[in-house]
Amino acid sequence: MLTGDGKVTISRKVPEWFVLYVCCSLGVFTELCFFTLVETLEGRSYLTLETKTYLWVIPIWGCGLYLADKLVHHKEFPRWYHRYLPYALYYFVFEYLTGALLYFLIGKCPWDYSSSGYDAFHCHGFARIDYSLAAPAVMFFLVEPTMNFLKKFTLIEEDIIG
């Protein structure tokens, strides 16, 4: 758009690669915070706030959060309690499939839950049911507000003519 002062203003949406980058960052941040909390509550890292994670979680969380936002449409599920079950099911299936894929590709699932001592809560060691019940909270309080902000955000570029 040409303005009266000789500037050209172009506005465009945030590129999808940047949205994916934000999803990766949110995912790793969430992973570290969640497991720090779990290990602190279980008495394994009292007040040290120490935890560990895997580099595999960067693409897994990035793609996972990005796809979750695309699959669970807010128009179809307008209330948070309508989105809770789809998010929980999505998280469980996605974690299970990525764990199984890694097991197939490298011969091991890095987050093997079968030795965690919570035998009733995991499925083949690839995914935990109790974690999938906590996952929607991440979507509601962290991802949804961020994605809504990014969808409304526009980049503005200005060039001076002449």
* Contact (Cβ atoms closer than 8 angstroms) between residue 91 and residue 61: no
- pLDDT band for 2, please (50, 70, 90 cuts): very low
Average pLDDT estimate for 13-39: 83
- At residue 135, the pLDDT reads 80
Average pLDDT estimate for 17-45: 82
Is residue 18, in this structure, part of any structural domain at all?
yes
- pLDDT band for 90, please (50, 70, 90 cuts): confident
* Contact (Cβ atoms closer than 8 angstroms) between residue 145 and residue 65: no
Average pLDDT estimate for 76-84: 76
Distances 89 to 7, 28, 34, 64 between C-alpha atoms, Å:
50, 20, 19, 12
pLDDT at 95 over 70: yes
pLDDT at 28 over 80: yes
- At residue 61, the pLDDT reads 82
Residues in the chain, how many?
162
- At residue 38, the pLDDT reads 77
Helix (H) or strand (E) holding 98: helix 80-106
The rounded distance, in Å, linking the Cα atoms of 162 and 151 is 33
Q: Which domain holds residue 27?
A: 7-157
- At residue 51, the pLDDT reads 75
Average pLDDT estimate for 76-103: 84
Could you give the number of structural domains in the chain?
1
- At residue 159, the pLDDT reads 53
Is residue 113, in this structure, part of any structural domain at all?
yes
Is residue 75, in this structure, part of any structural domain at all?
yes
- pLDDT band for 100, please (50, 70, 90 cuts): very high
| Main-chain dihedrals φ then ψ at residue 159, nearest 5 degrees | -125, 140
Is residue 2, in this structure, part of any structural domain at all?
no
Q: Which of these, 89, 92, 114, 87, lies nearest to 103 by C-alpha position?
A: 114
**Euclidean distance between the first and final Cα of the chain, in Å?**
15
pLDDT at 87 over 80: yes
Is residue 1, in this structure, part of any structural domain at all?
no
Tell me the average pLDDT of the chain. Answer: 77
Tens of pLDDT, residues 54-67: 888 888 888 888 88
